[in-house]
Structure 1
């Protein structure tokens, strides 16, 4: 699995951080998403897929894993 983020699309909702805090964080100054782990372990794949699915700005894309 490889995770990509588009900071230009991010609206700072923070739902990704709630779903997968090991993979996503937010910048202090504006809440824009930060990618902590572009290739998370298998144990986090479900959480990353959930984060991508619930992102209101569709700023997260996932490739190379089932369900893509």
Structure 2
């Protein structure tokens, strides 16, 4: 499995907080409630949880290099 790299589009975030609830060690929110990436290179052990957070983002504001939605991981 390859390494993971997480980024987020704060401009499209609608403050649903789902990513924060799923992975508080990777995501947080600023004073406006928009997503903040705390760890842009999380450990591989968080891969499944990161996939759920990525899929669950209602605005697709989270991007993850090294992860696919199908479960066979490659860089998109």
TM-score normalised by length of structure 2 = 0.81
Moved over 4 A (4+): none
Aligned CA-pair RMSD = 1.3
Unaligned 5+ segments in structure 1 are none
Unaligned 5+ segments in structure 2 are 68-72
Which of 1 and 2 has higher RCO (CA within 8 Å, sep 6+)? 1
Query: Where do 1:1-68 residues align within 5 Å?
Result: 1-27=4-30, 29-65=31-67, 66=73, 68=76
The structure that has the greater radius of gyration is: 2
TM-score normalised by length of structure 1 = 0.90
